[in-house]
Amino acid sequence: MRGGWALWISLLAACQPRGDAGVQTHVDDWRDEIVYQIVVDRFDDGDPDNDVLEGIGPEPDDLARFQGGDWRGVRDRLDYLEALGV
């Protein structure tokens, strides 16, 4: 049984990281950066034909529900986003 424990201990020792290899010492500073987030269904409705799915469509009076925006709307407004500096 001693041989079995010695094998396990040597295998575990071989799995241990060596020194600080893999430790990142510099992290980018994001405090002065601008991050843009697009909520696609709120942004722009580029294709109204795909708004209704299984009888459920945009509900402008209920902001907790789908509003109709889609990826085509984002693509159609890329000039606007570029002007913002995105």
22-73: per-residue pLDDT in tens? 677 788 888 998 888 999 988 888 888 887 777 777 777 888 878 888 899 9
Domain residue extents for the chain: 32-86
- Biggest alpha carbon–alpha carbon distance for the chain: 73
- Is the pLDDT at 4 greater than 70, yes or no? yes
